[in-house]
């Protein structure tokens, strides 16, 4: 039996660096993290994952963020079905018994869809698989309500985590800023929330989600041409994704 980590963007694995060292999961990354820069972060993520003793799955980072957003805007079923199939195949091939993924926070559409893809793929396996998610927004040491598993890092594990972060050039400045805001010790806690067995897509914790209000701001600034909305884009695609668990 084995563990699988599925994240929407390269770099998310840093939040769970010690868990990577302990569990040594296979890691699947939906996009290359290029964002608006059009520069992939996959080389840095591969180095981090392998340095922690884990394995980067084939097909990781094959899609750009721009392609992901275009597929969501156009409701490209085939694009997301290919990701669903890749995750499902990983679960079946590796006989996965635990899967960890991005949580639904309403912050980023790719984060939220990553969760929906994973939960649907788990249901499609027709066998017990433990599902855990982790938060990417806010303090890393926040202990949420509900059942969760908390990993406390000792000084050596924390230093290895911060060293790995400092050698991730695309995110080093962002991480240093977070350390200055939250404090070094905040990163000595890693939290996995217990997801359970939901039967329908999980909605954002509040509506409208942050990605809508941020998108509206960027449209006003002339940066985005349109706003991705939960009701029009993310919600319907989530419903479609969950149908695939039943072979629809």
Residue 153 has pLDDT above 80, yes or no: yes
Domains, the chain, ordered by start: 2-246 (3.40.50.10320)
CA-CA distance, 114 to 87, in Å (whole number)? 10
Looking at residue 232, its pLDDT comes to: 97
Alpha carbon separation from 53 to 18, 20, 47 (Å, rounded): 10, 7, 10
Token match 């941020």: residue?
214
Looking at residue 43, its pLDDT comes to: 98
Contact 210, 124 (CB under 8 A): no
pLDDT digits (tens, 9 = 90+) for 30-58: 999 998 888 999 999 999 999 999 999 99
Q: How confident is the model at residue 91 (pLDDT cuts 50, 70, 90)?
A: very high
Residue 66 has pLDDT above 80, yes or no: yes
Mean residue pLDDT of the chain comes to: 96
> What letter would DSSP give residue 35?
T
Three-state DSSP at 131 gives strand
Nearest to 28 by CA among 101, 92, 77: 101
pLDDT digits (tens, 9 = 90+) for 190-220: 999 999 889 899 999 999 999 999 999 999 9
Residue 173 has pLDDT above 70, yes or no: yes
Q: What is the dihedral of CA 219, 215, 33, 74, to 10 degrees?
A: -80
Contact 30, 187 (CB under 8 A): no
């Amino acid at each position: 039996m084995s563990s699988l980590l599925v994240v929407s963007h390269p770099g998310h694995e840093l939040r769970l660096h010690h868990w990577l060292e302990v569990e040594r999961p296979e890691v699947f990354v939906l996009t290359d993290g290029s964002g608006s820069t059009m520069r992939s972060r996959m080389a840095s993520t591969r180095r981090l994952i392998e340095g922690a003793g884990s394995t980067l799955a084939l097909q990781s980072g094959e899609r750009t963020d721009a392609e992901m957003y275009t597929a969501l805007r156009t409701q490209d079923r085939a694009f997301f079905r290919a990701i669903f199939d890749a995750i499902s195949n990983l679960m079946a091939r590796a006989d996965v018994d635990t899967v960890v993924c991005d949580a639904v926070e309403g912050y980023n559409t790719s984060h939220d869809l990553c969760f929906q893809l994973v939960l649907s793929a788990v249901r499609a396996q027709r066998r017990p698989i433990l599902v855990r998610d982790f938060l990417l927004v806010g303090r890393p040491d926040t202990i949420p309500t509900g059942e969760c598993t908390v990993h406390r890092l000792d000084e050596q594990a924390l230093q290895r985590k911060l060293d790995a972060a400092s050698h991730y050039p695309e995110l080093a400045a962002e991480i240093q800023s977070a350390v200055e805001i939250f404090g070094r010790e905040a990163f000595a806690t890693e939290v996995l929330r217990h997801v359970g067995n939901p039967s329908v897509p999980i909605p954002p914790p509040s509506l409208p989600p942050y990605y809508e209000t941020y998108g509206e701001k960027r449209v006003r600034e002339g940066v985005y041409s349109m706003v991705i909305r939960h009701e029009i884009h993310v919600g319907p695609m989530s419903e479609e994704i969950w149908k695939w668990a039943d072979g629809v």
